[in-house]
Amino acid sequence: MSRKKSNGGLRFQPAGGNRTAQVPVGKKQRLQIERLAGDGRGIAFLEGRTWFVSGALGGEDVEARVLGARGKIVDARLERVFQASAERREAPCKHYQRCGGCNLQHLPHADQLALKQRLLAEQLQRVAGLQPQAWAAPLSGPEFGYRRRARVAVRWDPKARQLEVGFRAEASQDIIAIDDCAVLVQPLQTLLRHLPTVLRSLDKPQALGHVELFSGTAEALLLRHVAPLPAEDLARLDAFCREAGAQLWLQGEGEPAPVDAAGKLGFALEPWGLELAWRPGDFVQVNAQVNTLMIQQALAWLAPQAHERVLDLFCGLGNFALPLARAAREVVAVEGVQAMVERAATNARDNDVHNARFFQADLSQPLVGAGWVAEGFSAVLLDPPRDGAYEVVQGIHRLGAKRLVYVSCNPATLARDAQVLAGQGYRLKRAGILDMFPQTAHVEAMALFEAD
């Protein structure tokens, strides 16, 4: 026997009551942009939702296309400007509308610096209730032609039977075909220009993963591959690199390795007569000019004396430790990864630096127990990753350091850690931005703390 519906077409609501309809991807919406967010996107408010619009500037009347939505947050991309900000400029790069690499080319460089300075000041004030006794001028180099390292996306399209080579699009896995990039240093621009042709000439392009380019004491091309490469393809790649004057490095399942084991790869710190060896996969600052300025300012602020013992935390390859050793009696440098500790120690030895010692330690934990901690320090330099150094700074006053320089790639965690330092009697004497990534909203900063 069949049952008749007795609810008269009643519609049941899902648990939790009414749900707000999501904004569909691709929808176009006219918006009034109020200001810029910390990541450089324009902020607009409409019908209870907050819109983040890449490519937009404060005060503009724009049309935006939705890239995605979650709850009351909408991510969008600028499509059209009805009323432009007086600050707006024509983006110098022809790929700007699609490439996800740079997001502030529509803003003049001087205004980019002012934005980053404001974002740093807001974080310090909002999170820590602090402002420095003095603001340092921004450390900045050329706004283009600065990047000495780049990662190039490579993907085989089996349906079209073609190899895609370029950079990732914004908020997408799409690869934008690019054979020129204005932010790269000139040697890498030359490599990139000819790279797609040689990769597409290979017999087994589906074996390719991605490519990394590096320029320092030599140029290098690292090819990551997901399957063995035929001998003919290796020969083509080797010939291409030899003609371009670049080293060829390969990486399959193991660590990166040079095809020519005799090749040396590194970067110079010329003011200190240093040359640091580097391998693909190691961290290195992408902006050589600003890196040099950053080290010079850190040393000037920390002012290590010939009788002092200095601690360098998150030391990496020795980027700060070796220049510090030129001025201090002793430098103790600490890093979380043992392989980096060994490479930094080798860099010290190869540069005839004998007053720097290198140790491995878990820097996500407080500094306790190690013998080198108990001896104390006159000054400390920290250069942590984006997560900051919250656990490390908790008891840093016990080291006895009167001066501390904190180099940060995340103003939010710098502000959080600055509050901890202030609670231990350290005053924020100076702060300023480091323009390591022009044309982007990425903010790096330096702060000097002094004990009461």
List the catalytic residues: 409
Are 391 and 366 in contact by the 8 Å Cβ rule? The answer is yes
Query: What CA–CA distances, in Å, run from 345 to 165, 311, 316, 331?
Result: 38, 15, 10, 12
Measured CA to CA, the distance from residue 191 to residue 184 in angstroms comes to 10
Of 447, 438, 418, 445, give the one whose Cα is nearest residue 40: 438
CA distance 330 to 321: 10
Q: Which of 383, 342, 375 is CA-nearest to residue 359?
A: 342
**102 belongs to an annotated ligand binding site:** yes
Residue pair 372/357 in contact by the 8 Å Cβ criterion: yes
Is 63 known to sit in a ligand binding site?
no
181 is in an annotated binding site: yes
Instruction: Tell me the residue ranges of DSSP E strands in 259-394.
Output: 266-269, 274-277, 309-313, 330-335, 356-360, 379-382
Output the CA torsion sign for 125, 130, 132, 133: positive
Cross-strand partners of 118: none
At residue 194, the 3 state secondary structure works out as helix
Find out whether 241 is annotated in a ligand binding site: no
Pairing outcome for strands 35-36 and 175-177: unpaired
C-alpha to C-alpha distance for 27 and 140, rounded to whole angstroms: 39
Residue 7 assigned as binding residue: no
Please indicate if the annotation marks 383 as binding a ligand. Answer: yes
3-state class of 9 per DSSP? Answer: coil
Q: Going by C-beta distance under 8 Å and a sequence separation of 6 or more, which residues neighbour residue 156?
A: 162, 163, 164, 205, 206, 208
What is the C-alpha to C-alpha distance for residues 202 and 236, in angstroms, rounded to an integer? 8
Rounded distance, CA 370 to CA 414, Å?
25
174 is in an annotated binding site: no
Residue 320 contacts by C-beta under 8 Å, 6 or more apart in sequence?
295, 298, 312, 381, 383, 407
Annotated ligand binding at 352? The verdict is no
285 annotated among ligand-binding-site residues: yes
Burial status of residue 106 (CB atoms within 10 A of its CB: 0-12, 13-18, 19 or more): buried
Binding residues: 93, 99, 102, 181, 285, 314, 319, 335, 362, 383
Binding residues for S-adenosyl-L-methionine: 285, 314, 319, 335, 362, 383
Binding residues for [4Fe-4S] cluster: 93, 99, 102, 181
